[in-house]
Structure 1
Amino acid sequence: MPSELIVPPLYSPTSPAIHPRHTDIDAGTTAWAEHFRIGSQELRGRLVKHDIGTFSARILPEGRDEVILLLSDFVLWLFGVDDGYCEEGELGHRPGELAGVLHRLIRVAQNPQTSMLDNDPLAAGLRDLRTRVDSYGTTDQAARWVDGLREYFFAVVWEAGHRRAGSVPGLNDYTLMRLYDGATSVVLPMLEMGHGYELQPYERTSPVLRAAAEMASFIITWDNDILSDHKERHSPGYHLNVLRVLENEHGLTADEALDLAVAQRDRVMCLFVRLSKHLACVGSPQLRQYVTSLAHFIRAAQDWGISSVRYTTPENPANIPTGFTDVPTDDSPEPLQIPAISWWWEVLPADATRLEERKQTWSHVR
């Protein structure tokens, strides 16, 4: 990719926010990583400089301290798996062997008392994380956390298959798997745990809320691909992100792929905003809090993406923005032509806009 490729300010309609104890949380995660020896010493030394605690404090700016610290430790652990096993380790080119290791880790997450991987630092860290998930969450939230971890593991094995073959997937397949290999779905139960509530099953499984959660995952992972493309393309070995997929799919230049990726995430962001307003009108207080947390999650990833040395790469500076814009490049209400996600545009009721207008009128009357 040409070094002059410049990422423009991304559309972000959500205001930034951060928990006041973010410095303590970041220090706590550094201590946790050292205690459990997550990753190699070299990898661990890099990860603890990436402001992961600050990222987590932005996701739950008004959340419980202990859950924000749990989330921060977990995100660092995920990078220990992703960077250590998948991106930089030999297993990242051996999908069969990688699947075996990850299945054993899933067993540890399911049953921490299982005598398996007893001397493995990642397994030890995972046992601690599961114990804390049980302490701060419900039985159902713990089960969904394990399910989300399984989805993530399944997706990174898929990616390892492409890494081994040196192949680039089609846009539809990439979009589907990126909803999971970004590990965003594993964080979702912690959004509830962070505020001490549990969504009702009929709310969590409703098509409109499932679509909103997937949209958040899409925006977060598209933004991550856009902001980390410089780092990945200047690193040795295979890389895979949306810009490369779009270049391969449509025969685009890097600049053209960047423009298209930004337009795609902007169109989804506009739909997310419309869905959020609808859910604010019809949802329970817990559902409204959940949607607010999804918005914070999106903005947290954006703020982290333009500030963490993980993406700014001071040794080889990236041309990424220092701020955001409140104007989307594409606000079309038409669905993206990506079959895996086109159903999102079908879940918003036809009268949703009128309902929001009525709510605004009532608020002025009162």
Structure 2
Amino acid sequence: MLNRKYAMVTIPGDIKISHFSETVQTNTVNWAQEFNLSPFYKPLKWYDRALFGVQAAREYPFASLEHITLAGELLTWLFTVDDSCDRGSEDKALATEMTDQLDVFISILERKPYGGNGRLELALANIAKKLQIICHDRPFLYRQFCIHMKDYLTECKLEIKMQLHRHQMSIEDYYRERPFTGFCIMYPLVAMFAGLRIPERVYMHPVVKKIELEISLLGCLSNDLHSIRREAELEEGGFNLILIAKRELNLTLDDAIDFVADEHTRHLEEFEIARTFLPDFGDHINSQLAKYIAGVYQIVRGYDDWAVLDTERYR
């Protein structure tokens, strides 16, 4: 459904939220203060109003308080980094510094020693340690998390480069690069939190990867619609398909919004089709895989509800 006033779209599904949401929100803001993300990167009011803890409670509605709090910390970290990367539209020197910092984040994920006192660096190391503990007996899940994180950070570097050099992305560039910009980072947490024991070969099956890709694109396209007002105000546009299509296809803003809403509908259909091609892995694995796919889908549905109903970030 498209609301022209706010350019919002959601995927089908019931609204869900953990009964721990208020506690998680408090824990998440406290964590941002503990690692001095607030007030160094953003004022406390920004973290309060963003409601990243509530977002985590919507994305993992059936997880434990400890696990949802960890998801809230990760979302807080990701959005702090995301907004810092947007500085490339305003301050070229800060953008260059951020590029160097992204390389440090990648080295932390590669388990290289970090001896500094950087706020985001220490916060990332804290998150990584907690995730390693949760899935110590399922190392594949942590490796997948790190792969997705490094892909995301590499895309952040690309976006900063675009801003610095005024490079304009094409629709083809968008579909090649955009799926790596965030949502898939959260997928391994579904299996970590639910204690799923799905074989690596199943996670890596082409149909499962296709389902993950389509869900990621649904999240990316809905994010483009939610954030268009905010991103249209940046000096240099980034990975927003509305702005890319408007320029490349010579569309009005309303027509570009319709184009992206139609793309969202198309990929929702692709997701449903992909599900019909899932092989039979046996009853036990099929049951766990169904929980995993439902959890991955809930991440985007939960994001949609947070973006539409909760946060002031996109208003």
Q: Which residue is equivalent to 1:65?
A: 65
Map Cα deviations across residues 17-74 of structure 1 (whole Å, 9 max, x no partner). 1111111111110110100011544614213321111111111111232221111101
User: In structure 2, how many angstroms separate the alpha carbons of the residues matched to 1:32 and 1:12?
Assistant: 31
Q: Which residue is equivalent to 1:177?
A: 177
CA distance 1:92–1:212, shift in 2 (3 Å)? farther
**In the TM superposition, what is the alpha-carbon distance from 1:7 to its structure 2 partner?**
4.6
Q: Which residue is equivalent to 1:299?
A: 301
Q: Which residue is equivalent to 2:269?
A: 270
User: Is the contact between residue 63 and residue 194 of structure 2 (CA under 8 Å) also seen in structure 1?
Assistant: yes
- Structure (1/2) with the larger helix percentage: 2
Q: Which has the larger radius of gyration?
A: 1
Q: Which residue is equivalent to 1:82?
A: 82
User: Is the contact between residue 88 and residue 163 of structure 2 (CA under 8 Å) also seen in structure 1?
Assistant: no
User: In structure 1, how many angstroms separate the alpha carbons of the residues matched to 2:41 and 2:148?
Assistant: 28
Q: Which residue is equivalent to 1:127?
A: 125
User: In structure 2, how many angstroms separate the alpha carbons of the residues matched to 1:281 and 1:14?
Assistant: 25
User: Is the contact between residue 7 and residue 258 of structure 1 (CA under 8 Å) also seen in structure 2?
Assistant: no
**In the TM superposition, what is the alpha-carbon distance from 1:92 to its structure 2 partner?**
7.4
Alignment pair present for 1:286 and 2:291: no
Q: Which residue is equivalent to 2:142?
A: 142
User: In structure 2, how many angstroms separate the alpha carbons of the residues matched to 1:8 and 1:36?
Assistant: 35
Alignment of 1:1-366 (within 5 A): 6-7=5-6, 10=9, 12-38=11-37, 40-41=39-40, 43-45=42-44, 46-84=46-84, 86-88=85-87, 93=92, 97-111=97-111, 114-116=113-115, 118-137=116-135, 138-181=138-181, 183-233=182-232, 235-240=233-238, 241-276=240-275, 279=278, 284-313=286-315
Query: How well do the aligned residues superpose, as a CA RMSD in angstroms?
Result: 2.4
SS in 2 for 1:43: coil
User: Is the contact between residue 178 and residue 220 of structure 2 (CA under 8 Å) also seen in structure 1?
Assistant: yes
CA distance 1:92–1:199, shift in 2 (3 Å)? farther
TM-score, normalised with respect to structure 1: 0.77
Unaligned runs of 5+ in 2: none
CA distance 1:290–1:253, shift in 2 (3 Å)? same
**In the TM superposition, what is the alpha-carbon distance from 1:171 to its structure 2 partner?**
0.4
User: In structure 1, how many angstroms separate the alpha carbons of the residues matched to 2:63 and 2:188?
Assistant: 13
Unaligned runs of 5+ in 1: 314-366
**In the TM superposition, what is the alpha-carbon distance from 1:106 to its structure 2 partner?**
1.7
TM-score, normalised with respect to structure 2: 0.89
User: In structure 1, how many angstroms separate the alpha carbons of the residues matched to 2:57 and 2:121?
Assistant: 25
User: In structure 1, how many angstroms separate the alpha carbons of the residues matched to 2:96 and 2:173?
Assistant: 20
CA distance 1:253–1:17, shift in 2 (3 Å)? same
**In the TM superposition, what is the alpha-carbon distance from 1:110 to its structure 2 partner?**
2.7
User: Is the contact between residue 89 and residue 234 of structure 2 (CA under 8 Å) also seen in structure 1?
Assistant: no
Over the matched positions of the two proteins, sequence identity in percent amounts to 19
User: Is the contact between residue 93 and residue 160 of structure 1 (CA under 8 Å) also seen in structure 2?
Assistant: no
